[in-house]
Amino acid sequence: MLKQIARTGFNTLRLPYTNQLFDPGSVPNGINYQLNPDLKGLQGLALMDRIIQGARKVGLKVVLDRHDPTADLRPPLWYTGQIPQTRWINDWVMLAKHYRGNDTIIGADLDNEPHSPATWGDGNPSTDWRLAAEQAGNAILAVNPQWLIIVEGIDVFQGDSYWWGGNLEGAAQYPVRLSEPDKLVYSPHDYGPSVYLEQWFKVSNPADLTHTLPAIWEKHWGYLQKNGIAPLFMGEFGGPSMGQDLEGVWQRTLVSYLHTQGISYAYWAWNADSGDTGGILNNDWTTINQSKMDVLSAYQWPMLDQPRFQSAITPGGMLVLPRVLDQQQVKPFANRRT
């Protein structure tokens, strides 16, 4: 599957994990060991290592995405009673140390989709996501200064509601302050009417969205890169349709906007069973959804590294993520998540 990801034109994998993965008693389930005999007996960090090794062999980079505290819970904040903030930070530091010097890992997506009661910039240590992102980001950089620190938004800022993790309005007044400022990348998520019929989707003609959506995006997150404040990485977007309906017009308009603005992105998701968005893979888990790739492949970048085994990908494969800050430069970078 990693070979197929690379052949399809992606150069980076956004790899979700939960802190539960690192519990000594946590064992994987749902793995077909007939298809994956080399994974038998692996758990926790050793299992993650094997995926990282596989990505390296085919020339893929990896963004680690702390997606949830535990496999069965999507909490609004980055911590719970079971997984406190100290554990969240300590696990990030452990990973930063463990993968220090491994150039396959390029960044840390600190927490997936924080939302209300999450706040931004109010100084409340229990809810202020901007403060928490600074603490975790600086703890990571203290042991691994090479990683990009990827910070998502919240949902509501000063009464203005947007997608979970998608509202970065607060970063204008309250920017994330890192010890290595050039490692900061803001990362909104954006979705279409298949996830929720937001007010801005209620138009008489789907084609109208091509004119109305860019202003909405610029207000909530696009201004950061457009005004040279910080680079953006669209960490998630996706949907079932690329057609002329609301969903399809939203997706195609978003890809066009990202392309015009030079904004990096990761598509949600590779997997076929991706809920209300569907995946790059069709439901047979083998063939590619060509309607999606016809749109995405118009905005892809080359591989960041030559694969360790050249036969793993087709020569000159294109990719699906644009640019992300790497040290002092903005370099080509593409990503997607499985």
The string of DSSP codes covering 239-304 is: -S--SSSHHHHHHHHHHHHHHHHT-EEEEE-SSS--TTS--SB-TTSSSB-HHHHHHHTTS----S
Cβ atoms of 270 and 279 closer than 8 Å: yes
Cβ atoms of 337 and 266 closer than 8 Å: yes
What contacts 53, CB < 8 A, 6 or more positions away? Answer: none
Catalytic residues: 113, 236
Cβ atoms of 264 and 232 closer than 8 Å: yes
Higher pLDDT, 291 or 29: 291
Residue 8 structural domain: 2-337
Cβ atoms of 157 and 298 closer than 8 Å: no
How many structural domains does the chain have? 1
Of the ranges 160-169, 171-180, 268-277, which one carries the lowest mean pLDDT score? 268-277
Average the pLDDT over 250-262 and give the result.
Answer: 97
pLDDT for res 307: 63
> Please, what is the Cα angle at 58 between 52 and 63, to 5 degrees?
40
* CA contacts within 13 A on the Cβ side of 136: 31
pLDDT for res 335: 37
Could you please report the per-residue DSSP string of 99-136?
TTT-TTEEEEE--S---TT-BSSS--TTTBHHHHHHHH
CATH for 215: 3.20.20.80
What's the one-letter identity of residue 113?
A: E
Cβ atoms of 321 and 265 closer than 8 Å: yes
pLDDT for res 274: 85
Average the pLDDT over 192-207 and give the result.
Answer: 97
Cβ atoms of 331 and 12 closer than 8 Å: no
Q: Model pTM greater than 0.85?
A: yes
Question: Reduced to 3 states, what is the DSSP secondary structure of residue 169?
Answer: helix
Residue 305 pLDDT level (bands cut at 50, 70, 90): confident
pLDDT of residue 184 exceeding 50: yes
Residue 275 pLDDT level (bands cut at 50, 70, 90): confident
* Residue-wise pLDDT tens digits, 34-57: 999 999 999 999 999 999 999 999
Residue 306 pLDDT level (bands cut at 50, 70, 90): low
pLDDT for res 301: 85
Residue 309 pLDDT level (bands cut at 50, 70, 90): very low
pLDDT for res 119: 98
pLDDT for res 330: 28
Structure tokens at 237: 């977007």
pLDDT of residue 321 exceeding 90: no
pLDDT for res 280: 97
pLDDT for res 308: 53
Mean pLDDT of the chain: 90
